[in-house]
C-alpha cells in the first residue's frame, strides 16, 4: 500500500528532497555506496578494479607511484566516453570505484542500465552500460581487438554475467519499494578459455603446431599495461619413453588473435612418435601459471 502510494508520486516532487543524501554526489568511497548496495559492494571488493591502485605489481611498475601518466585508469574520477579518464586525486586506495564508472558530473546523477526510481540519489538510464563501449576508456587495446572481432557478445556478457534476480539494495526501508532486478556480477571475473583448437604436423624431427583462439573475441593474452602470459609446453616420446621437451612463451604482443591460426615451430634433435602439448595461462596479477588444456598426439 505504501509502496503503491510512493510509486504514484512524481520523482521530482519536493517530498523526495528529504530522502536525498547529498554526499553521494560528491565522489564518496565505495564503502559509502555499500551502505545500501551491499551485495554489489562485496562483489566489487573482490574484483581487480578494487585493487587497481594498491596492487603490488602496480606499485612496482610505477616506481612507487611516481609515474603520474599511469594514474588515469587506475584512480579515475569519472568516465569520459571512450577517452582516458581524468585522475581522482583523493580516495586513491579505492582504485576503480563505483563513482568512477557510475557518476556523471554533467547530469549530477548516477548512470546505470535501468530506469529506476532511487530516492537517495538521482539516476539516469544510460544505454552505454550494456555496451562494450563503456569499458573502452581504460581497456583501450582490448576494446580495439574486440571491435575487429566483430562479434555481438559484449564484455559484460562474459565478464559481468548476471547471477540472478535480486534487489539492488539491501537497506531498510528502500528495499521495500523496489522490484528485484538482474544484478550483474561486479567481481569482473576473468573466466577461462575452455579449450584451444590445436592441430599438429610432423616434418622429420620438426613439430608444427597450429593453434587457434576461436573462443575469446579479443587477443589471448590481452593487455593494456599488465603482463599476462600464455605458455605452450611440448614433450616428445618414442615408444612411450619421454625424449625431449621445449616450450614457447606467448606475450600480448605475439598473442593468439581471434580466429586467426598461429603456427609455432619446434625443432627436436631426435625422432618421436608421440607428443604431449600442455597450455597454461598466467593473468597479469597471477603469481603462478594455471593449466588450460592438455593434448596427446600420436604419429604411429
Site for ligand HEC in 83-142 (CB under 6 A): 84-85, 96-102, 110, 112-114, 116-121, 123, 125, 129-130, 132, 134-135, 137-140, 142
Strand order in the sheet with 123-125: 103-104, 109-112, 123-125
Total residues in contact with ligand HEC, by rule CB under 6 A: 99
Looking at beta carbons only, is 44 or 272 nearer to ligand HEC?
44
The answer to whether residue 52 forms part of the interface with ligand HEC (CB under 6 A) is yes
> Does 224 engage in binding with ligand HEC (CB under 6 A)?
yes
Whichever of 223 and 257 has its CB closer to ligand HEC, that residue is: 223
Burial class of residue 239 in the structure, from the number of CB atoms within 10 Å of its CB (0-12 exposed, 13-18 middle, 19+ buried): exposed
Residue from the set 86, 104, 170, 190 that interacts with ligand HEC by CB under 6 A: 190
- Is the preceding omega at residue 173 within 30 degrees of 0, hence cis? yes
**Which residues within the stretch 27-46 sit at the binding site for ligand HEC (CB under 6 A)?**
28, 30, 32-37, 40-41, 44
Residues in the chain: 300
Measured from the CB of residue 126, what is the shortest distance to ligand HEC in angstroms? 7
* Per-residue exposure over 32-71, b if at least 16 CB sit within 10 Å of its own CB, e if not: bbbebbebbbebbeebbbbbbbebeebeeebeeeeeeebb
* Range in contact with ligand HEC (rule: CB under 6 A) among 8-16, 218-226, 240-248, 267-275: 218-226
Which region, judged by CB under 6 A, interacts with ligand HEC, from 197-205, 238-246, 256-264, 281-289? 281-289
Please identify, using beta-carbon distances, which residue of 188 and 272 lies nearer to ligand HEC: 188
User: 143 to each of 66, 137, 155, 222, how far by Cα in Å?
Assistant: 27, 9, 9, 10
Q: What are phi and psi of 17, to 5 degrees?
A: -55, -35
Amino acid at each position: 500500500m505504501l509502496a503503491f502510494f510512493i510509486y504514484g508520486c512524481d520523482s521530482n516532487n519536493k517530498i523526495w528532497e528529504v530522502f536525498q543524501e547529498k554526499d553521494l554526489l560528491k565522489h564518496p568511497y565505495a564503502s559509502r555506496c555499500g551502505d545500501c548496495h551491499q551485495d554489489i559492494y562485496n562483489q566489487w571488493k573482490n574484483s581487480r578494479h578494487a585493487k587497481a591502485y594498491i596492487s603490488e605489481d602496480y606499485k612496482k611498475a610505477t616506481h612507487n607511484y611516481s609515474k603520474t601518466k599511469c594514474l588515469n585508469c587506475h584512480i579515475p574520477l569519472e568516465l569520459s566516453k571512450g577517452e582516458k579518464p581524468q585522475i581522482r586525486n583523493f580516495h586513491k586506495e579505492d582504485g576503480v570505484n563505483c563513482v568512477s564508472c557510475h557518476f556523471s558530473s554533467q547530469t549530477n546523477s548516477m548512470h546505470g542500465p535501468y530506469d529506476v526510481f532511487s530516492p537517495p540519489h538521482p539516476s539516469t538510464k544510460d544505454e552505454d552500460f550494456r555496451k562494450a563501449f563503456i569499458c573502452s576508456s581504460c581497456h583501450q587495446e582490448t576494446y580495439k581487438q574486440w571491435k575487429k572481432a566483430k562479434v555481438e557478445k559484449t564484455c559484460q556478457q562474459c565478464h559481468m554475467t548476471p547471477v540472478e534476480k535480486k534487489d539492488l539494495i539491501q537497506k531498510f526501508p528502500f528495499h521495500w519499494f523496489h522490484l528485484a532486478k538482474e544484478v550483474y556480477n561486479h567481481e569482473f571475473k576473468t573466466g577461462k578459455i575452455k579449450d584451444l583448437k590445436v592441430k599438429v604436423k610432423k616434418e622429420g624431427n620438426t613439430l608444427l603446431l597450429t593453434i587457434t583462439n576461436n573462443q575469446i573475441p579479443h587477443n589471448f593474452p590481452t593487455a593494456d599495461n599488465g603482463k599476462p602470459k600464455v605458455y605452450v609446453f611440448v614433450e616428445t616420446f618414442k615408444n612411450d619413453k619421454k625424449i625431449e621437451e621445449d616450450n614457447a612463451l606467448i606475450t600480448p604482443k605475439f598473442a593468439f588473435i581471434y580466429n586467426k591460426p598461429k603456427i609455432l615451430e619446434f625443432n627436436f634433435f631426435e625422432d618421436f612418435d608421440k607428443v604431449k602439448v600442455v597450455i597454461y595461462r598466467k593473468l597479469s596479477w597471477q603469481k603462478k601459471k594455471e593449466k588450460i588444456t592438455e593434448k596427446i598426439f600420436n604419429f604411429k
